[in-house]
Amino acid sequence: MSRVVLAMSGGVDSSVAAHLLVEQGHEVVGVFMRHGEEAVEACSVDGKQANCPLLPLLNNRADHKQGCCSASDAEDGRRVADRLGIPFYALNLQAEFRQIIDYFVDEYTAGRTPNPCVMCNNWIKFGKLFDYADSIEAEFVATGHYARMRLSVEDGVPSLTRGVDKSKDQSYVLFGIERHLLSRMLLPVGAFEKSKIREIASGLGLNVAEKKDSQEICFVTNGKHDEFVRARRRNIDTSGQIVTTDGQVVGEHPGIERFTVGQRKGLGVAMGEPYFVTRIDPTFNQVVIGQRGELARNELTAADTNWLIEPPPEPFRCLAQIRYNAAATPATAEVLTGGRLHIKFDVAPFGIAPGQAVVCYEGDQVLGGGWIESE
């Protein structure tokens, strides 16, 4: 029997993941990671973090509520754990999660579009959670992501692939996992359609069977990321002009953090026809807008690459995905020196955004990727 640390968010996916792992004969330890922004703020006094009553590891199954940092999601996770008869702990990762928040805010104020979900997976879910797994001598770490682990028939080498449910596939946000950790990852729900996961939860009588999926960034509780950024960078003025691609000034904006490349709605100007953000210039705080055709780019360069295979020494064919919700498209990739990557697309995609990740696939297998720095 293998001991498995499972990240339990209180949602239906990680809850069913717990059931599937128990069915497979694993010794499952459920862990809820306390890092929500409302928890951070609730533990603050005059803008400074006070001593929070949460311990790094709460004892006794986390079946008591902490006054400042309790969460209904943690309670949902605890109920599921009790139902399945597995231990359930809460880890206080607020200090670590502040790194995610700082990254998020810094990227927007620099005119880039961050992806905090990828960073959370890299630094916390498959970073700190492995540290915790090691501390309790657990062999595996598992999550409720819709992706799959596959072992090579020839040599048993693990690889990361897309989930069965293509509409829910989350392999893109897992590209940054360190390759040596793949052999210790378990992704039990990736072999199922989402509808089947809900059916399993309902059949087990789990209270989260019909719980809605989270649609927003977990720490931006009101869904307005620009307000979130401005509240944390009050000493920086990012307001400026809205200009067309030919340099015509057509309006003003309250801050570049309100915009991302490819954005159409909420531009704050009426052009008489659809216009999109084509570029953000943080030097002059300009938001450049143009027609859809001006969003198309044939190539990009990415930095800080991570590879889940041995990176090919020569240019290679792949499917490249430039956003979580974008389709992967045929391209030629070339690994450059200094941890960089060049992608040339067969057909130019629209809305390549600096700050987002580009991920390379061979069929359903994740090869690796990097962070878009230019187009």
What residues contact 282, with CB distance under 8 A and at least 6 apart? 109, 110, 111, 238, 256
Q: What is the dihedral of CA 55, 123, 29, 62, to 10 degrees?
A: 30
Q: Does residue 4 contact residue 64 with C-beta atoms inside 8 Å?
A: no
**Catalytic residue at 68?**
no
**Catalytic residue at 43?**
no
What residues contact 52, with CB distance under 8 A and at least 6 apart? 43, 66, 68, 69, 92, 94
Six-digit token string for 217: 């960034």
Distance, CA of 298 to CA of 373 (rounded, Å): 14
Q: What is the dihedral of CA 296, 301, 305, 310, to 10 degrees?
A: 90
Q: Does residue 117 contact residue 44 with C-beta atoms inside 8 Å?
A: no
Q: Is 210 exposed, middle or buried (0-12, 13-18, 19+ CB in 10 A)?
A: exposed
Q: Does residue 243 contact residue 250 with C-beta atoms inside 8 Å?
A: yes
Secondary-structure percent of the chain, ordered helix, strand, coil, rounded to 5: 30, 30, 40
Query: Which of 52, 69, 117, 120 is flagged as catalytic?
Result: 120
H-only helix segments in 30-69: 37-42
Q: Does residue 126 contact residue 165 with C-beta atoms inside 8 Å?
A: no
What is the length of the chain? 375
Closest to 88 (Cα-Cα) out of 17, 141, 144, 30: 30
User: DSSP state, 350?
Assistant: B
Phi/psi of residue 334, nearest 5 degrees: -140, 125
- Point out the residues that are catalytic: 120, 218
